[in-house]
Amino acid sequence: MPKLLIISDPIDKFNINGDTTYLLMLTAKDLGYEIYNCQPKELFLENNKPYASVRTLEINHGTSLIHSTLDWVNVIEANEHVNLQNFDIIMVRNDPPFDMEYYYLTQILEFAEKAGVKVVNPAACLRNFNEKLAILNFPELITPTLVSRDKKVIFDFIAKYGNCVAKPIDMMAGRGVFKISPEDPNQAAILENLTDYYSQSIMVQKFIPEVVLGDKRIFIVNGKIIDYCLYRIPQNGQIRGNLAVGGRGEVHRLVESDYEIAMPVAKWLSAHNISFVGIDVIGKCLTEINITSPTGAQQIFRDTGINVTRILLEGLAKIN
């Protein structure tokens, strides 16, 4: 049996009604994988060899019973000193923030890659392609964008473009996202908070009016654009459609403009051997390229039967 190690947040914290990592584990069960799990803090290097403290998981049902109860998994064995080269595939599924510990994690995983293990997504790409900053590789697809911690530069950008959105570079799930304008009396306070008094860079973008209608999470798996997306719709009066902050999800078929955005991104991802990605689109603008732990797959599977985690694992098996 092929061996799959999934690095994730604690499994007892999974939301089994929406978590993509939950779907991934059930799919791996369907495909006959031996499934192992650890948290990022449990990886380490010893004498230039990568190890982890891992748990062997027994998944009690496959995707046909995805609506099942909380007893979906048992830990059948725990081992404290397992060489990562024993695994065929390592999936990195822990959530941001991207901090120094995440940076060190990617360094450890590169030692596993040198030993022949397939890491998804590649460790260097996880380190080099921040999900906010990666969109800068596609200037023709994005709204006017600034990355800075300089107070004057930020204020000048907002004065130039009017309504803008400011956000931290290293967070997820809509955390710390603010709409601001030159007339906003809270502009200075918001920017001081986001930049930690101009000591940390942030991203500021010209506001995209279509955001009130929602954003689309589009999956690109093994270079293939999945034909259905998760449309995340904000609550009334809000600009964040993320499900984690109260947005509502609907599964929609892609339209022509979605493919026009996704195709050049898919080509770029394939060139970097990045296998599992969720891009975010608002209107006709690319807003994020999530290669760390994209979510939304479970809703698409429930509504359409398209299982992007199965497409991923079957594609990786062909490569190996």
Q: What are the catalytic residues?
A: 132, 167, 217, 232, 240, 280, 288, 290
Alpha-carbon gap, residue 254 to 230, rounded angstroms: 10
Contact in structure between 203 and 135 (CB atoms under 8 Å): no
What 8-state DSSP symbol labels residue 148?
Answer: E
Alpha-carbon gap, residue 90 to 275, rounded angstroms: 12
Alpha-carbon gap, residue 168 to 155, rounded angstroms: 16
**Nearest residue to 123 via CA among 113, 136, 133, 138:** 113
First-residue to last-residue Cα distance in the chain: 13
What 8-state DSSP symbol labels residue 2?
Answer: -
